[in-house]
Structure formats: C-alpha cells, structure tokens
A and B are shown apart, each in its own frame.
Chain A
Amino acid sequence: MVYYLKIAGIGVKVNCPKNLCLFDGWKIFFEEKWGKPFLVKKVKDVSLTIYLEGVKIKGAKSITKTVPRESIILPKVRSGKIYFDNLLNPGYLLVLFREAVGDFILKKEGAIMHASGVVINDKALLIMGESGSGKTTTLKKLMGKYRPIAEDDVAIEVLDNKIVASPVLFSVKLDSNLLVSKSYEVGKIITIKKNKKLDLIKMPKVKAFQFLLEQSKSLINTKSNALRIMKFAKLLSDKVYTLNCQKEDELNDIIRELNI
C-alpha cells in the first residue's frame, strides 16, 4: 500500500508493504486520515519517500525485519534485526517522521521550532514557553475559536520575503484533522506570564532572540541546524511579546482586547 502525505508543503510518499500488519494503531491512524488534509490521494512532486518494511509477529508486541531507509532513524538494532518495541504506538512513528521531515525542511532552508499556535486573521499566532508552561492548555483554550497550526513543533520558512509557519506533522496530542493544512505568515509570537495586570509587552530584540534560541535549544544538534535556528530567531526577534494575564480562560477576550 502506498500512502501520500503532504506535510509542511512537502510531498511524502510512504511505502507500506502488505505484509506489514502495521502496528494496528498506525494503520487505523492512516485509514482514518485518508482524504484529510495531510493524507492526499496523490502528490505531484514527491520530495521524500519513506519505506516501511516488516512483519508483525502474531501475538508479539514487536516487529522484526523492519528495514527503513532515507532518514528514518531506528531505535534498536540487535543481531541484524531492528526492533520497534515502542512502535505499536503510532505516536512513536511520528517522532521518526518528524526527524525525516525535519531533515527535509533543513534542506529547504527552513527550520523547525518549538511552538504551538493558532491562525487569527490569516496570520499565525505562535505560543512559546518552557515545557509545562501551558502551551497546549493555552492552545486548547484558543481552539474554541481559532484553528491550530501547531501543537508542539512548527516549520518556519521564508517565502516571498515573508516568514511563514506551516504545520509540521500530525499532532500527538491533538486530532491532526483540526490542524490547518497550509502556511501562514507569522504575526506575533507570545509567551504567557501569570500576572494580575493584563497587558501585552513587546520583548526587546536581544532578549527576544535569546528567548527564541532557548525555546528551540533541544532541536539544535548540528552546525547547519544551529545556523538556521539562529537565522530565524533573528528574523522573528521583533515579533515576540510577553502576554501578562491572570487566567488562560480569558484568552479569547484578551486576544480581541489587545488586538493580537
């Protein structure tokens, strides 16, 4: 079975052999998404091909003889066999996918950054903050009114002299059907601080640059990657704001009031 996907503007072909009783969850996952934004009938320009090969041993919770190619990094290799012990969970495959797509985005001169975000008035409002700072909670509050563009990772690129954000992948925490399927210019980046006084304060450029680096620190592992993240941190450094508010519940009103 061949599946075609469109992720962050990239055409992906997934080659999935019949005998691979693909971790059932993953199979359902694909089938459920068929015809939905990410899974398309056919991609004109296939930029990335991912081969999934292997068979699931009946009754066993591991898959053997799995030979991946092209940017798919494998978890464990023992005696010439590759074990996907955790891969029965499709979420884990998403991580592998993310790496493959991430590599490709790098080749396209783009970068992946950590953020969640929604689309407001045709612009992406990205929400950044430390892990556990409530990015997903904030996102969920905003989703009552706006469509999400990212839940954890977002692809950033320069297109027609504009900095645009695209959804990177299926989201692990959200139903991926909810995510928008195209790119939007980045409007503002906000980080939320609990504060009685409600206001939106622009972060000084240098501080914003460091903040953006800090947020994507875990994604920096090579020189080219580091250069790319730095480039985008610099380009985005005049779009970062601290949103002081008391309750995340009030976010929808705040967005209207502060004209975000």
Chain B
Amino acid sequence: MKYKIKEGVVWEEIDGKITVLDPKQGKYFVLNETAGDIWKCLKRPMTEEDVVKKICLKYEKNGKEKEMEVQIKECLEELVRLKLLGQ
C-alpha cells in the first residue's frame, strides 16, 4: 500500500521548513524536521517500507530501521489523519 499526497494539497519549502496547505480544509500545517523529510519522500507515491529505508539512509540509521519504523509509521498516520496524505 502506497502513501501519496492528497489531490489539491500544495506545499512549499522555506529555509528547510515544509509548510503544507490544504485549500479544501482552508488550513496550513508546518511540519517538523522528520515529518518534512517524510513529506519530501512522498513527492511520488511510496510504501511505508520504502519511506523507512529512505529516511534511515538519510539519517545514517542503517540497522536501526525498527526504531525508526515506529516513528515514521506514527508520522504517516498523523498525516493521513490530518487528511494531507491518502493511501
């Protein structure tokens, strides 16, 4: 199952900070560093496993995938809950 940015949702990166704007909800969200990195991975639809791999590579946490996995999963779920991501 792949996660993808919901149709209509737009975002911008300023000085490394990602701001996501959903015109449907009329809301914008400022992502923290980890969420921002996850978001950038999802420029194209991606599975949770692939997101974990990519983030671990970035943070040089090879071998600590399990630990990261929990954090990333929570973050993805939160972004789905906020209606910014779909599956």
Contacts and interface: CB of A to CB of B under 8 A. Distances in A.
The answer to whether A and B belong to the same complex is yes
Contact of B26 (A210, A220, A230, A237): A220
A217 interface: yes
B23 A222 contact: yes
How many A residues are at the interface, by size bracket? 20 to 34
B19 A210 contact: yes
Contacts of B26: 217-218, 220-221
A226 interface: yes
Contact of A209 (B8, B10, B14, B23): B14
A226 B17 contact: no
A213 to B, nearest CB: 5
Contacts of A226: 8, 10, 21, 23
B38 to A, nearest CB: 19
B63 to A, nearest CB: 33
Contact of B28 (A213, A225, A237): A213
Contacts of A2: none
A237 B26 CA distance: 20
A222 B27 CA distance: 12
Contacts of A214: 28
A223 B30 contact: no
B40 to A, nearest CB: 16
A230 B23 contact: no
Given A210-B28, A210-B30, A230-B10, A221 B23 contact: yes
Contacts of A233: 12
A36 interface: no
Interface string B1-28: 0000000101110110101010100111
Interface residues of B, number: 14
Nearest to B17: A206
A227 interface: yes
Contacts of A213: 19, 21, 28
Nearest to B22: A226
A222 B21 CA distance: 11
Given A210-B30, A213-B28, A217-B28, A225 B23 contact: yes
A227 to B, nearest CB: 5
Nearest to A204: B15
A209 B21 contact: no
B20 to A, nearest CB: 10
Contacts of A206: 14-15, 17
Nearest to A222: B23
A225 B24 CA distance: 11
Nearest to B28: A213
Closest A-B pairs by Cβ, 6 of them:
A226-B23, A230-B12, A223-B8, A226-B10, A206-B17, A209-B14
Interface of A: 205-206, 209-210, 213-214, 217-218, 220-223, 225-227, 229-230, 233-234, 237
